[in-house]
Amino acid sequence: MYIVTGSVTSAMRLARAVEREGEYFADVVHTPAALSPVGCSYSVKLKDEAYESAKRIAEEIGIKIKKAYTEKIKDGERVFYDISG
């Protein structure tokens, strides 16, 4: 899953906070081009089951989540589904 934030700083803060809780590994990555055509945003990459926890943590530390996507392989291609509601 990819949680898109507004800046690399926000993504790094969220990733550190998620990992501090100790349940999930979080990595800061460039948002995949399919999700960010201009290619200049950053995301926190997590396991899908970490979404609710990461969403709660982001709210607690004041980070706005722009979008959240799960990634699946369909017919051999990466497909992203918006789960941010």
Kindly report, residue by residue over 30-48, the tens digit of the pLDDT: 998 888 765 568 899 999 9
Q: Across all residues in the chain, what is the average pLDDT?
A: 91
Of 41, 49, 46, 48, nearest to 16 by C-alpha is: 46
Backbone angles phi, psi at 29, to 5 degrees: -135, 160
How many residues comprise the chain?
85
pLDDT of res. 39:
59
| 26 Cβ contact list (under 8 Å, min separation 6) | 14, 15, 16, 18, 19, 44, 45, 46, 50, 54
**Given this model, what pLDDT does residue 11 score?**
95
Average pLDDT over residues 2-27: 93
Q: Report whether pLDDT(7) > 60.
A: yes
